Chain A
Amino acid sequence: MSTIQIILLLIIAAITGIGSVLDEGQTHRPLIACTLVGLVLGDLKTGIILGGTLEMMALGWMNVGLAMAPDTAIASVLSTILVITAHQGVGEGIAVAIALAAAGQALTIFVRTLTVFLIHRADKYAQEGNFKGIEIMHITAMAFQALRVMIPTLIVALISVSAVQSFLGHIPIVITKGLQVGGGIIVVVGYAMVINMMNIPYLKPFFYIGFLIAAFTGFNLVGFGALGLCLAILYQQVMQKNNHQTAAAHVAAGQGAIYDDDDDLDA
């Protein structure tokens, strides 16, 4: 690996490390991060394929509330470097990425605890009306998140390729093939997470309608998106009509009540 490549990898590590906490530009998603690493290392295609594979596995990984998803930034960057420099397959990539995602999650928890100290400093700066101080604290927190991925990346980049190669080469074929089989199944965890998050029991039939149409037709995803949108609009229009009717019924009943009140007052 040339010096320029290492520098570029460190920049990617910084971008994805910050990106994974910001959750804005989505640079930390495997689809983007692996592609970028592939580009730098001169094997774009492997990067894209590994990125696509890992992305399918991470489909439902998201930060909701205070819950934290496994770390896709560290997993994507490091696994792509290892796969490309040591000429390994997607199966080995998955194996490494899963372990790294779990390790990265622990590291993220550590950094998010570390930044608690920075916010107490910021409290003091607020007391003094010090804008710069608060801004510096915020940026420092981001720098920690960048280092979270940069340091492991540098370590991996400096280890000789042959050492990595012999390590990965010792993974038996039944493991790597088995991981690929598992990789085809693992996506259900992501689906299950998304479904749980949208846990509105009376809307569940829409999930099964989607499943049935997919099972028995050849629609692609764009078709499903358009169809789903139509269904959502249709459902709300029907519901609105129903609500109007019940609302009208309520109003009628309410008027009756008012007349009753009048009668009471008269009497």
Chain B
Amino acid sequence: MESEKRLSKKDIFSMFIRSNFLLGSFNFERVQAMGYCFVMIPAIKKLYGPGAERNEALKRHLEWFNTHPWLTAPIFGVTAAMEEQMANNKGMDEKAINGMKIGLMGPLAGVGDPMFWGTLRPVLAALGASLALTGNIAGPLLFFFLINAIRLSTKYFGLKYGYIKGMEILKDLAGNRIQKLTEGASILGLFVMGALVSKWTHINIPIVVSRIKDDAGKVNIQTIQNVLDSIMPGMLPLALTILVAWMLRKGVNPLLLILGIFVIGIVGYWSGILS
């Protein structure tokens, strides 16, 4: 009897390395398709001998695919496990593999986008940028090493987890775990964003509203900004953020908003309303 075809640690590691180039051929027709096939090649090479089966496997992974790039790792793991079963004629079929890919794609993008693009990167980048604004090299270094350490471990362990768990992962993800993760990431993200709106937005209205000479003869100048701050610091940035979020939801082009704010900045500085 023919011995079972199995992927070695080396094959899985080779897929991990390739997964760092998943988005390299991103295009508007099939998005990550060619990248997906590129990552699957070591597994396909190992599992199928030359012939129709191998060619079918290649075509299978050139189908439309799009998800969060870092969270493709568990999908690759599961797909590799399924391909292994298929190569060994263990009742796996092409439909199941495609279904699994499509089924995991949406939820994982749904988790990855708020978690990595919405929370991790803005928080680490803001931390790094705040150091960098003073010319401190620790800013870029901190950002680069922290985010890549998290990224690489997510990818490596995700891939291994996906492969080992194989089919089991389906049940795991079908539960409410995904929703909990998304919810948790959103809470953290929204909370930190709220803080950033207040801390890192600089709006200053230097128009003087009153000049009061105190008993010691010192002149106390009150600007509009002082008055606003005494009510609630950061209220202008908050109002503006809510306004911009609403405009974006209405479909206003972000680049247009950016240009608009720069026009406000220039006109505001020119007229002395902003500084």
Contacts and interface: CB of A to CB of B under 8 A. Distances in A.
Interface of A: 18, 21-26, 29, 31-32, 35, 44-45, 48-49, 51-53, 55-57, 59-60, 62-66, 70, 98, 102, 105, 112-116, 118-119, 122-123, 125-129, 131, 134-135, 137-139, 141-142, 145, 174-175, 177-200, 203-204, 206-216, 219, 221-222, 224-225, 227-229, 231-233, 235-236
Contact of B24 (A139, A199, A235): A139
Contacts of A32: 140, 143-144
A185 to B, nearest CB: 5
Q: Which 4 A-B pairs have the closest CB atoms?
A: A182-B265, A210-B194, A52-B132, A178-B266
A231 B237 CA distance: 24
Best-buried of A23, A25, A44, A125 by chain B (most CB within 10 Å): A23
B37 A122 contact: yes
A265 B258 CA distance: 70
Contacts of B132: 31, 35, 48-49, 51-52, 55
Contact of A214 (B25, B195, B249): B195
B192 interface: yes
Contacts, number: 362
Contact of B21 (A64, A122, A142, A200): A142
A198 B195 CA distance: 16
Given A119-B27, A224-B192, A48 B201 contact: no
Contacts of B144: 25-26, 31-32
Contact of B274 (A48, A116, A181, A197): A181
Contacts of A210: 190-195
B22 to A, nearest CB: 7
A131 B27 contact: no
A138 B237 contact: no
A186 B258 contact: yes
A194 B189 contact: yes
B33 A119 contact: yes
B69 interface: yes
A193 B265 CA distance: 20
Nearest to B140: A35
B5 interface: no
B45 A214 contact: no
A110 to B, nearest CB: 11
A64 B24 contact: no
Contact of B254 (A189, A207, A214): A189
B190 A137 contact: no
Interface stretch (B49-57, B89-97, B160-168): B49-57
Contact of A116 (B20, B28, B55, B238): B28
B59 A127 contact: yes
B28 A112 contact: yes
B135 interface: yes
Contact of B45 (A131, A196, A206): A131
Given A129-B58, A181-B274, A197-B118, 17 more contacts: A25-B144, A25-B148, A26-B148, A51-B129, A55-B126, A112-B27, A134-B62, A178-B262, A180-B265, A185-B240, A195-B241, A196-B249, A203-B183, A209-B194, A228-B188, A229-B188, A232-B183
A18 B137 CA distance: 24
A192 B261 contact: no
B262 A179 contact: yes
A15 B22 CA distance: 15
B245 to A, nearest CB: 4
A193 B151 CA distance: 22
Contacts of A197: 113-114, 117-118
B151 A24 contact: yes
Contacts of A195: 190, 193, 241, 245
A178 B270 contact: yes
Given A174-B270, A221-B130, A119 B29 contact: yes
29 contacts: A22-B23, A31-B125, A55-B128, A56-B129, A56-B133, A59-B126, A112-B27, A119-B34, A126-B55, A127-B59, A131-B45, A135-B41, A178-B267, A182-B266, A184-B202, A185-B261, A189-B254, A192-B245, A195-B193, A210-B194, A212-B194, A221-B196, A224-B191, A224-B192, A225-B192, A231-B187, A232-B184, A232-B191, A235-B187
Nearest to A219: B195
Nearest to A99: B259
A178 B187 CA distance: 35
A187 B148 contact: no
A211 B197 contact: yes
B55 A207 contact: no
B41 to A, nearest CB: 5
A222 B28 CA distance: 39
B35 A113 contact: no
A142 B24 contact: yes
Contacts of B121: 26, 62
B13 interface: no
B66 A66 contact: yes
Best-buried of B28, B125, B200 by chain A (most CB within 10 Å): B125
